[in-house]
Amino acid sequence: MTARRGSTARHSTARRLLPIVAAAALFLGATALAGPPAKRRKAPPYPTMVQGWHTPSPSAQPPVDDEGHPLLILQALNSTDRGAFPAAGPRGGFSAQDLDLAAAILHDPSSGNRNPVEPRLLDLVFRIQTHFHAEEIRVLSGYRTPARSGASNHGKGRAIDFVVPGATDADVATFARTLGFVGVGIYPVSGFVHLDVRDRSYFWSDASGPGRKNRERGILGDLAKSSDREAALRGEVPVSTCALQFDVDAALRACAAGESTTDDDDEPGD
């Protein structure tokens, strides 16, 4: 009688353990099928990224509207933001609504802040795109909040770092230097061109890598002066420094007194 009771107890315990054992077996089997945890995808090497920025799409064509007029296309590389902008003519000219949309695309991704875009900057970017018959302008950086950009033109809505797919940075910079009243910086290691609008042209090269301290070197000073003279003869007008201030009253007082309101830190560089 005692032996039967012990056998019954052992069977009862086994029955209670069956669901637990089965669940464990299912878990282990699923784990084996799933394999090891997926590894986080590594970002490609920086030179590979730069090459991708400069590579046009397989079926790239210069963008036009329904009437065949060229369109400016801005594609942000740090987000999915993209916009198409019809120009009033071959030298640019964009509506207030388009300038608002451009400001949204060129916003500071680290803070979410945005700032109005200087209209001439958009005109010049459009002329660069059409000159190279490019599908779009790929933007690395537009507006940057002044707290992290200092007195940079990026903090005033009048600068852009970009690449033109299908064109070398050297060729883009060469053409941009002809536009007049611009700052043009070429970054051969970081892989982009900087463009800003200003009252006197300044050109530079910066061999620093991404995230490294600037290694700016001013270049082609005589060309900068002659570019401005030729631009003035064409009727180009430098951006008024009075229109680029956050303190409107101070800007108006300075203009009335015939003073320049450009920050000293704006010259040279961006």
Q: What average pLDDT score do residues 87-108 get? A: 97
Q: How far apart are CA 197 and CA 124, in angstroms?
A: 9
Q: How many CB atoms lie within 10 A of CB 135?
A: 19
C-alpha 119, offset from chain centre: 18
Q: To the nearest whole percent, how much of the chain has pLDDT over 90?
A: 69
Residue 170 has pLDDT above 70, yes or no: yes
State the amino acid at position 9 in one-letter form: A
Q: How far apart are CA 83 and CA 74, in angstroms?
A: 5
Q: How many CB atoms lie within 10 A of CB 213?
A: 7
pTM of the full predicted structure?
0.77
What pLDDT sits at residue 17?
A: 45
Nearest to 180 by CA among 110, 246, 96, 91: 91
Nearest to 173 by CA among 199, 157, 196, 153: 196
Contact between residue 222 and residue 230 where contact means Cβ atoms under 8 Å apart: no
